[in-house]
Amino acid sequence: MAIRRVRNKKTLGPIIIMMIISVVIMVLSFILSKIGIQATLTEAGTSENTIVTVNNIFSRKGIQYIFGNAVSNFQNMEPLAYIAISLIAVSILEASGLLKHLFGFLKGLKPSFVTFLVLFISIVSTLFLDYGYTILLPLVAILYKTLNREPKLGIMTVFIGITAGYGAGFLYNYQDVVLGNLTEASAVGLITNYSFDRWSMVFITTLSSLVLSIVGTFAIEKYLTKKVKKVEDNELIVSTKALQVTGIVFAVLLLLTIYSIIPGLPFSGLLLAPNSSGYMNKLFSSTSPFREGFLVLFVVFSLICGYVYGKISRNIKNSREYNSAISLVFKGTGFIFAGLFFASIMLGILEWTNISTVLSLKIVNLFSNVKMTGIFLIVLMFIVFTIITILNPSTVANWTLVSPIFVPLAIRANISPSFAQMIFKAADSIGKCLTPFYIYLIVMLGFLYKYDTDGEELELFGTMKKIMPVIIWMSIAWIIIIVGWNLSGLAMGIQTYTTL
């Protein structure tokens, strides 16, 4: 009788990996600072240059930074507050039975079509910047559990959709406006009367949303989908009357919210930034009450609608059960907050040392005088932008570094500045999927831990490896879209083309 030996594979958890990466960055900062590595930063729209050097973390200031800013860096991490607020909303929606009722309508759909819907909604959610992660990750996990599918599959699908599709979407978002301002500044003096049009990419981003959803669905169903596990029913009551009343309450709340973001009507525009120009600036600028209060609105909607549905359906019988329901979904989320703490230390060290900035500038300056044109230059730009995002996943910071070099380079090759920005957005999306420095990768891992019921040893790089086949397909799709659009000569937006 053959005896099968099972060898336990020793793995390092995500927190240990982040600690190791932090130490590696610290050692690199010491070596590179002693060598004297530096790079030149060109300011967009000016001829001013700034020398950027690597800071040694083992210096007096470096040690003081680590211990003096560890807590403040953790406090300042946006996902920390976003997730806590979002979980409050999702918890009451689940406990009331409202999500079970709504998601129940999807039980007759094919699993592949559900995957497509999740991917498509995830990509479109980029209109609301990073809020999509904090809302959709817990919601889709519950959706998949309701449909008797593996919640971890839904969590990875949301992450892939939002991250790889960050450069797509049906409408431009506030980040496009910020990037466009940098693009415009980098094109000054090279193109007469050039100004960035906010609708300059609407055609290509709309088609990209559909193509990426289709390609992503194929890849996820082929490489990620496992045998569906049966999930026990939580025995919540489903009530048609409760849903009807809740629908009326939701409609009233939605109309009030819409009125508060419409400018120019009596007592309207309450949630818009008063001193900003352009509607997207009024809606999503850093001073906009809507941007700051979007998750608060989500919580208000959830608390009211959840209470109405739960009370009528009798899933929530009294105030004690209501209070308990608000915190129900927090169970098992400890890793999210622990992971964010160690990630804040790692990212803080990376930023303070300037390693990613100096290396990115070195790469950019290496290709500043390249003589390529056409498809070869487009693919080169895509690769360079992807590498830079792997080093530092901050979209605006990276375009600030590279636009003064690559926008003029694109113009000299007859590539429009808007198309250069589109190439950057596509590459930035893929780069975020490939870097351990992207904070929402840690958030995704936290939700995977929450829904891990089979004792799987989750790893940082192991999880990245698991989704890698899908990311490769998405990368190929992005390159085909970018290159194909350039070859077709079609308008990429309203009166905007890939060439000058």
Residue type, 195: S
- pLDDT tens for residues 255-307? 999 999 998 888 888 888 887 777 877 887 778 888 878 888 999 999 999 99
Coil, helix or strand for 117? helix
Asked if 37 and 488 count as a contact pair (C-beta separation under 8 A), the reply is no
CA 151 to chain centre: 19
Backbone angles phi and psi of 49, in degrees to 5: -115, 145
- Amino acid 232: pLDDT: 53
- pLDDT tens for residues 17-41? 999 999 999 999 999 999 999 888 8
If you average pLDDT over residues 451-462, what whole number do you get? 78
Query: Of 498, 491, 478, 419, which is closest to residue 213 (Cα–Cα)?
Result: 478
Confidence of residue 84 (pLDDT cuts 50, 70, 90): confident
Coil, helix or strand for 204? helix
Give the H/E segment covering residue 42.
strand 38-42
- Amino acid 452: pLDDT: 82
- pLDDT tens for residues 206-257? 999 999 999 999 999 999 986 445 555 567 888 899 999 999 999 999 999 9
Query: CA–CA separation, 427 vs 222, rounded Å?
Result: 24
How many CA atoms lie within 13 Å of 284's alpha carbon, on the beta-carbon side?
Answer: 14
